[in-house]
A = this chain, B = another copy of it.
Amino acid sequence: MTPAFDVLRSAYAELTVTDLAASRAFYVDLLGLVVSHEDDEAIYLRGWEERLHHSIVLRQGPVAGVRRIGFRVRSEDDLAPLAARLEALGSTVSWVDGELRGMGRALRATDPFGFPLEFFYAIEQFPTQLQRFDIQRGAPIMRFDHFNFHSPQVETTFAFWQQLGFRCSEYISTDGENEQIAGAWLLRKPGVHDVALTLGTGPRLHHIGLYVAEPAGVLHACDQLAAAEHSYTIERGPGRHGVSNAFFVYLRDPDGHRVELYSCDYYTGDPDLKPLRWSVSDPRCRSFWGTRAPDSWYEESSLLLTADGSTVPTFAAGVDERQARTEVMA
């Protein structure tokens, strides 16, 4: 069944940080994101090619966490049927209007797993800075690309997102008779993913993915971070994923929020694109070149926040976590 609504794509993350100045140094001074607005409470950022008011909002808070996981819909008219679907799927929904700078009406939802979602159409736009090569600095981060969730219930979560119209480009599953999905890459825009689900203690946000124009940009980001004595922020990579073909590096911001700089996506817009399956026993799905990821990459993730600012409780994955580490993540 085609949904009666159209989610365009993942669009923005709102993260709480415990030291806004330190976060600014990381995201603006070192990574080179463009500041759309900043005040004492929050900084609104966007990538070099982006026109929407923000794709990352950093908000000063008492604890580090994930306040909002934002998606854009095609029109205002998509929001009501989407709200109905979300409720039918067990989410609680609410409406806000203009709560975040630059934004209008938005549909908020806490999904059955605890993720604080938001869907919106109305938002201010800025001119793109895509061709302002003269003032660009830092890493060539073009645009927001995707969310990656840590979930102890990948299959159930997968079914939820399919009910919102998300298709699957690639997945990892167990071998043998009782195939179980241990990772899934789900999309609305025609790249590899808007949302990835990977097995792990959750619900948590494993990382946000930011699109970088080419692998050299990922290397350049590492060089800049290291030269500024921030090499400790480089957690994993650079390297190549088998799943998604991404050339990636994973960074940890000053609060431990994980940011993937991601390049080398491919086109997935044709509706009969057959999902690529990877076996959990194929080491190349995680790391095409065979490089081992550090334990932290499997074990640590950002906690989600409820509307009142408390953290959402998490549950361990139903399988042995050590097995998940070596087999499931990509």
A247 at the interface (CB under 8 A from B): yes
Q: A247 near B219 (CB under 8 angstroms)?
A: yes
Using CB atoms, name the residue of chain B closest to A231: B290
Give, as a whole number of angstroms, the nearest-CB distance from A14 to chain B. 19
A258 at the interface (CB under 8 A from B): no
Q: B216 near A216 (CB under 8 angstroms)?
A: yes
Chain B residues near A290 (CB, 8 Å)? 226, 231-232, 234
Chain B residues near A300 (CB, 8 Å)? none
A46 at the interface (CB under 8 A from B): no
Give, as a whole number of angstroms, the nearest-CB distance from A241 to chain B. 10
Please tell me how many copies of the chain the complex holds.
4
Q: A274 near B222 (CB under 8 angstroms)?
A: no
Q: B288 near A231 (CB under 8 angstroms)?
A: yes
Q: A222 near B289 (CB under 8 angstroms)?
A: yes
Give, as a whole number of angstroms, the nearest-CB distance from A85 to chain B. 20
The stretch from A104-112, A130-138, A151-159, A174-182 touching chain B is A130-138
Q: Given known contacts A128-B266, A131-B288, A234-B291, what 4 new A-B pairs fall within 8 Å (CB)?
A: A131-B223, A143-B267, A226-B240, A226-B290
27 contacts between A and B (CB under 8 A): A8-B271, A30-B134, A51-B273, A72-B270, A74-B271, A128-B266, A130-B266, A132-B227, A133-B224, A134-B224, A134-B228, A137-B137, A143-B266, A189-B190, A190-B269, A213-B264, A214-B215, A215-B216, A219-B240, A222-B288, A226-B289, A231-B284, A231-B287, A231-B288, A231-B290, A238-B238, A292-B294
Q: Which residues of A contact B (CB under 8 A)?
A: 8-9, 30, 49, 51-52, 72, 74-75, 125, 128, 130-135, 137, 142-143, 189-190, 213-216, 219-220, 222-228, 231-232, 234, 238-240, 242, 245, 247, 264, 266-267, 269-274, 276, 283-284, 287-292, 294
